[in-house]
Amino acid sequence: MIKKGLFFTLLLYVLSGCSHAPDTISTETEKDIRDINTNLRVVVYNDEITDPKDDYRSFYKVFINKIEEGRTTIGLESQKKVFEIYLSPNRHLVHIEKWILDEKNNRYVKVNNVDQPKPDFAYVDVQEHKILELNFSINLSNSASISIDYHR
């Protein structure tokens, strides 16, 4: 009887111990990240625009390691425009290219190089189990302040 009680106690201990294994959280986070296909989030916005006349609809093409991978969402320059992607853990070169709406021709056009943000690139270290947020905060003279945050 005592032997049976000890067996169930040990079994309960083993089961409860498994459910609290320290790696479990990490594994689920990685799964979440893979599910949403994101471990790099590029955010671009201009935080100095106050005149609506200067606030064009725009987006940014995003190049990862010199290959075009997509574009940000579309929004006013003053709004945050986001691009998300899942990358292998490594150091990556992220380059952005600004396009604005030419309302006369009903199309988006790439802005001249002199009007592109400076700098328009950043090297980032994508780490396992983390979401890296790369912020390009651009001012009126097209200078970009770059910041990087990691989120678990």
Q: Footprint of other proteins on this chain (CB under 8 A)?
A: 57, 59, 70-71, 73-74, 99, 101, 103, 106-108
**In the structure encoding, which two tokens stand for residue 69, read together?**
């991978």
Instruction: Rank residues 86 and 150 by Cβ distance to other proteins and give the closer one.
Output: 86
DSSP letters along 89-100, please?
SEEEEEEEEEEE
Minimal distance in Å, beta carbon 22 to other proteins? 33
Minimal distance in Å, beta carbon 38 to other proteins? 11
Residues near 81 by Cβ (< 8 Å), separated by ≥ 6? Answer: 43, 44, 45, 58, 59, 60, 72, 73, 74, 75
Minimal distance in Å, beta carbon 42 to other proteins? 13
Minimal distance in Å, beta carbon 71 to other proteins? 5
Instruction: Rank residues 21 and 109 by Cβ distance to other proteins and give the closer one.
Output: 109
**Separation CA 120–CA 122 (nearest Å):** 7
Instruction: Rank residues 65 and 127 by Cβ distance to other proteins and give the closer one.
Output: 65
**Separation CA 47–CA 65 (nearest Å):** 27
